[in-house]
Amino acid sequence: MKSAFFCCFLLFTFPSFLHAQESVAVEKRYTDEIKSLANRSVVKAVFQHFADWEPQTKQDLIALTETPAPPFKETAKAKKYAAMLKEAGADSVWIDEIGNVIAKRKGRSSRKTVVVEAHLDTVFPEGTDVKVRQKGDTLYAPGVGDDTRGLVAILTVLKGLEKAKIETDADVWFVGAVGEEGLGDLRGVKHLFKTHGSKINSYIAVDGDGISEIVHRGLGSYRYRITFKGSGGHSYGAFGIVNPHSALGKAIYYFTGEADKFTRQGVKTTYSVSVIGGGTSVNAIPYESWMEIDMRSESPERLKGIDQLLQTAVQRALKEENSLKRSGPDLTVDVKKIGDRPSGKTEPTVPLVQRAMAVSTFLGAVPKLDVSSTNANTPISLGVPAITIGSGGVGGNVHALNEWWLNDKGVLGLQNALLVLLAEAGIAK
């Protein structure tokens, strides 16, 4: 999920957190480049196709949305999407080991590779009704905006390139990625960079609505499930053995005390003890106590720093609780990392960001540089120029059953993706 959608969700309560916008100027050369690009007759021809294809684009969106893609179960949608990309004219289309759909369109020189990507997975579990309902012009369905609209946008860009016979200089990969959401933990894009990272020069994720937002900073996160384990026993009869909840309380106390100080200055870094559990009955010392923790920062160093506070707190709590025991075995602790999203920043002066800003401006929007947790996090963390841009239109209620997307000037999203891509990949001379 990209934060443009996310904003719609939380905008009224916490706008300041989400639009930590940087004030950056676009260099004239990029403004000129985009104007010149958009004025080329082949590009104008593609814009016209986009307009002509609106009914088909809507049909594609409905068909893809109604193909479920629950977390870790994206296969059906991947197969359908692969067929659509093949039909659109890609040179080769395959599904990789982890389930990503990759459609390759060769460029003339092939010296560079540009990836445009949207994600296949939704947050909705198996069995969720994904039938699209239309009220007025608005389409309602789980996943319709996040990120099926993104998939359709880049598919339509591919169709446009084919129809207008535009040859790019760089190779372009159109990717439908698995595992962007939640516990998917960016596994699709992580795999893509593990297997093909060395040849990818530029990465454009399409996720979220509108054409204003340009995510150039990856909000990194670590997530843990920490479980203290003891023998358990009767609250009176076994009194004196270690109590996992006491250790958990100590760990929370030590961690949140240090983390509060740590987060009061420097790059915004957050922490949350989010879910806790354990215990069977009010008259029993529990055999386990667990918590799930989320920590986020734009800064990899700060993320590592707060993580260190957590690890120290957990070990201190373990040691102290064990030192208080009067009988029985020691407590143990299991620290399991359940999420690891890298953070980082594509500098606003990098051509990709400059171009995206120039395109957004050219199309009549006000570009906003933003931070979010998207598939772009991975290339950003690896130093590969990467951004996440919107797919046009307006959407809301993301991650809720009544998610919606409205084609309000949605064609601008297609133009946006096309121009940014062409600027990066170059049109062959």
Binding site for a second copy (CB under 8 A): 6, 10, 13-14, 17-18, 182, 219, 221, 223, 233-239, 243, 245-246, 248-253, 256, 260, 263, 268, 270-286, 289, 291-294, 296, 324, 338-339
Least distance (Å) between residue 329 CB and a second copy = 12
Least distance (Å) between residue 9 CB and a second copy = 8
What residues pair up with 118 in beta bridges, in sequence order?
Answer: 176
Cα–Cα distances in angstroms (integers) from residue 374 to residues 117, 160, 342, in the given order: 11, 26, 10
| Phi, psi of 119, deg, nearest 5 | -105, 145
Q: 140 or 255: whose CB is closer to a second copy?
A: 255
Structural tokens at position 392: 């046009």
Using alpha carbons, select from 287, 270, 189 the residue that is nearest to residue 234: 287
Residue 307 DSSP SS3? helix
First to last CA, the chain: 37
Using alpha carbons, select from 334, 329, 336 the residue that is nearest to residue 243: 329
CA angle 14, 18, 19 (to 5 degrees): 115
Q: Residue 265 carries which side chain, given as an amino acid letter?
A: Q
Q: Residue 362 carries which side chain, given as an amino acid letter?
A: F
Least distance (Å) between residue 126 CB and a second copy = 18
Q: 175 or 259: whose CB is closer to a second copy?
A: 259
Q: 16 or 41: whose CB is closer to a second copy?
A: 16
Least distance (Å) between residue 264 CB and a second copy = 9
CA distance 124 to 184: 12
Least distance (Å) between residue 370 CB and a second copy = 12
Least distance (Å) between residue 24 CB and a second copy = 22
Q: 195 or 315: whose CB is closer to a second copy?
A: 315
What residues pair up with 115 in beta bridges, in sequence order?
Answer: 173, 203
CA distance 39 to 46: 11
Q: 314 or 423: whose CB is closer to a second copy?
A: 314
Q: 6 or 362: whose CB is closer to a second copy?
A: 6
Least distance (Å) between residue 301 CB and a second copy = 18
Q: 1 or 132: whose CB is closer to a second copy?
A: 1
